[in-house]
A and B are shown apart, each in its own frame.
Chain A
């Protein structure tokens, strides 16, 4: 069965018109796995709905 992350990489690369040559794919995938693992650490942290991002805009 195909790894869903490979399918995701294919889909996003196509959508964003980003070239991902076969030779680069293992490194791209490894980097994405690290980024998603770290992003999950943040995702798991419960914040209230009212939480503002650090990057709020001042008009």
Chain B
């Protein structure tokens, strides 16, 4: 029986469960106990589905005992950002308003696929209201806290996902990323996160934010776990209009392939500006480890970020227009005021942003004819203090909230697959983006795996947990 199940990776838990060195029930009970012990501080969970989890774990154990084949995540506890439908829970999406929704009748597709691979859902996770957030703070549920320093932000909007995985409450969590909401908490909480290609993973039965830009994906403490979860969740789904009819392309078996033939470059220009020393150091460590000397320019990246901002605020406003009319006082005031402003942006400007998006996509596609991987910072800074409104960069005071995602937005804007890899700086970790061409998650994950093997990328143990 493994000594501390909570310190094991998902791959190790599944192996131990399948080899009957432990049970899915023991792994689930260990996770539930750890959540009970530490979540009062981390505040990463909004719902713990203990009864369901125990029942599911017993079913996995029964299947193993009867000789049935179980999946590669057998007995692995996981949790989801609370914008995923969990059968029996109202899908709150970080809001007060959505708590009045009827309980979800069916799990989100990605939960069903994780459980089909043997994983065990243990709960739903805190998030910024309606995912319009980079901090992980929430006025209704309180902030999820950073496991490496609980006075700091988890990052958002998948803040609970970052906090729960970084704090080793679960080995895998699912989150969403519209402009950086998987990559920012991964960076702040010192974990790996995958934002797959737009359209790769089904968003069916998850609460949306910006239909043009919404992605779902996993967060984990190792690249192998990230790949196992990603592989389990792939495949077409007619219930999501954006999900492509593309076959499953397993990545986990490819992770250890040599990366020596890959052409890797640093993102220059826009991506080398507005950085704190920690972000520069993290990128430099990755560049050194990979022997990267070349720099490439993503053309018009600042404009791409601007266009992503405009599309997000307008589509977000469209989604919430009726709630803004009927229940304006029940929103987080900061989110409400952004959404009201979004409703007032002229439609002609949004159309131009969508036209620019296609132009930018073509330019970056050209760039990817000469390079296989682009390295960029994930966040300009380490996790800020909870409640911190501004930081000073190069002598200029800037708003924290608006600037955390400046390096992630131009990438998700055209749906490129990205792994955020944690670089274990002291006292706080910070992430680096490993960006690949569309549909080449395998390349980004292989580079992340090589960095993890060399020790350059590593999810540090949380302090005091």
A-side residues, CB < 8 A to B, are: 8-9, 12-13, 16-21, 24, 27-29, 31-32, 34-36, 38-39, 41-43, 45, 47, 51-55
Decide: A17 near B325, CB < 8 A? Known: A35-B345, A45-B356. Answer: yes
Q: Kindly list chain B residues whose C-beta atoms are within 8 Å of the C-beta of A29.
A: 341
Q: How large is the interface on B (under 10, 10 to 19, 20 to 34, 35 or more residues)?
A: 35 or more
Q: Are A39 and B333 in contact (CB under 8 A)?
A: no
With A42-B303, A53-B354 known to touch, is A12 a contact of B328 (CB < 8 Å)? no
Contact: A43 with B309, CB < 8 Å? no
Binding site for A on B (CB under 8 A): 212, 300, 302-303, 305-307, 309-310, 313, 321, 324-325, 328, 333-334, 336-338, 340-346, 349-359, 361, 402
Q: Which residues of B contact A27 (CB under 8 A)?
A: 333-334, 337
B-side contacts of A32, CB under 8 Å: 341, 344-345
Contact residues in A for B321 (Cβ distance below 8 Å): 16, 18
- In angstroms, Cα B43 to Cα A59, docked, is 45
Q: Which B-chain residue is minimally distant from A15 (CB atoms)?
A: B344
Q: Which residue of A lies closest to B304 (CB)?
A: A42
For the complex, would chain A's binding face be called helix, strand, loop or mixed by DSSP majority?
helix
Q: How far is the CB of B23 from chain A (nearest CB, A)?
A: 48
Measured in the bound complex, the distance between the Cα atoms of B321 and A16 in whole Å is 9
Task: Tell me if B325 and A35 are in contact (CB < 8 A).
Answer: no
The answer to whether A34 touches B402, judged by C-beta atoms less than 8 angstroms apart, is yes
Q: Given A9-B344, A34-B402, A24 and B333 touching (CB < 8 A)?
A: yes
Q: Does the CB pair A52–B324 fall under 8 Å?
A: no
Knowing A42-B307, A54-B361, A55-B212 are in contact, say whether A47-B340 is a contact too (CB < 8 A).
no
Measured in the bound complex, the distance between the Cα atoms of B344 and A35 in whole Å is 9
Name the residue on A nearest B324 (C-beta): A18
Query: Closest 4 CB pairs between A and B?
Result: A31-B341, A53-B354, A38-B306, A27-B337
Closest Cβ of chain A to B328, distance in Å, is 5
> Given A24-B336, A45-B300, A53-B351, are A39 and B361 also a contact pair (CB < 8 Å)?
no
Q: A31-B338, A47-B356 are in contact. Are A39 and B325 (CB under 8 A)?
A: no
Q: Tell me the minimal C-beta distance from A26 to chain B in angstroms.
A: 9
Q: What are 11 A-B residue pairs whose CB atoms fall within 8 Å in the complex?
A: A12-B343, A19-B328, A27-B334, A29-B341, A31-B337, A36-B349, A38-B309, A38-B310, A42-B310, A42-B356, A45-B303
Residues of A within 8 A of B341 (CB): 28-29, 31-32, 34-35
CB-CB under 8 A for A28 and B340, given A39-B345, A52-B358, A53-B355: yes
| CB contact between B306 and one of A8, A16, A42 (< 8 Å): that residue | A42
Q: Closest A-chain residue to B300, C-beta based? A: A45
B29 to chain A, nearest CB (A): 46
Instruction: List residues of chain A with CB within 8 A of the CB of B355.
Output: 47, 51-54
A56 vs chain B, min Cβ distance (A): 8
- For B307, give the chain A residue with the smallest CB separation: A42
In angstroms, Cα B356 to Cα A51, docked, is 8
> Which of B313, B328, B351, B358 touches A35 (beta carbons < 8 Å)?
B313
Complex CA–CA separation, A41 to B300 (angstroms): 10
Beyond A18-B325, A35-B341, 11 additional pairs, beta carbon < 8 A: A9-B344, A18-B324, A31-B313, A34-B402, A35-B313, A39-B352, A41-B302, A42-B310, A42-B349, A45-B300, A53-B354
